[in-house]
Amino acid sequence: MEIKLGFGAVPKPQYIFVNKEANHCWYRLEEEKQVPIEEKALTGIITNIECNKAVETQYGIAYKTDLTILAPSPHVVRSGRESYFSKSLLLALDALSIEELKKPLTITVEPGDKTVVFCNIYNPSTYQAVNVNWENHQNINLESIERAVSSKINSLNSGTSVSSIKSNQQDELFKQLMDYSSNYINRLEWQPAQGRKYLESKYGVPKRTQLTLEQLLEFTLLLAELSVSTHQAKAA
């Protein structure tokens, strides 16, 4: 992970809270004030999950599900353990293989009736949602699925930052991000000079192979957002 000297933001994860209000389904806190997040999707690499986590709130102890995702800095998506969001999140994660969990994924909020918020997970490369059977959600063994998902995700990486990923995992992730970014560049129909100009202005290098892992992740996520926006504009 590239370390920047000088003044900057406090190096801690950004917490995202799931709660349906007005026209948004999640928010972040800034100086104890809720700041709505209008976007409905967060794309990144899942690195950690904590289930049944006891959290002190103004109403007493509450139990939460915390999902950590690099996007490209760490974000923690927090939701109530018994919420529809947490359950649909766990069902989707349980349906993914370990190989699929190593790649960038898109976490989305989907508004339901009244205060209900559902979670869907998409493959940002194919735009396909993870197929989940929601019909029997009331009968799922929550403790069992929490253990299964936690074991699968937490076996991938032991921390929540790029620097904690082992060197062989870094090499593999770098190759995967190169493939993803190449696909997005082709979809966007970027010419080589266009990509080179952006890389030089943003990172001071002419080639993606000269980027750090974190920079390549940031660049790939940008391309993913542009690709989705372009796709939606053409479909409209």
> Contact, 94 vs 145, CB < 8 A?
yes
- Distances in Å between the Cα of 128 and the Cα atoms of 2, 106, 109, 121, 228 are 32, 10, 15, 9, 12
Q: How far is CA 222 from CA 19, 71, 84, 147, 190, in A?
A: 26, 10, 29, 33, 13
Burial class (CB in 10 A: 0-12, 13-18, 19+), 64: buried
Is the pTM for the entire model greater than 0.95? no
Span 157-195, pLDDT tens digits? 544 444 444 466 677 778 888 888 898 898 888 988 888
Tokens standing for residue 210:
């000269």
Predicted local confidence at residue 160, as pLDDT: 41
In angstroms, the CA 62 to CA 18 distance is 14
pLDDT at 5: 61
Greatest distance between any 2 Cα atoms in the chain: 57
d(CA 95, CA 75): 22
Is the separation of the CB atoms in 117 and 110 below 8 Å?
Answer: yes
pLDDT average per 10 residues of sequence, the chain (236 residues):
63 88 88 89 90 89 94 89 94 92 90 91 89 79 93 69 53 82 89 90 91 86 81 64
Closest CA to 73 of 100, 44, 35, 48: 44
Q: What are phi and psi of 37, to 5 degrees?
A: -110, 110
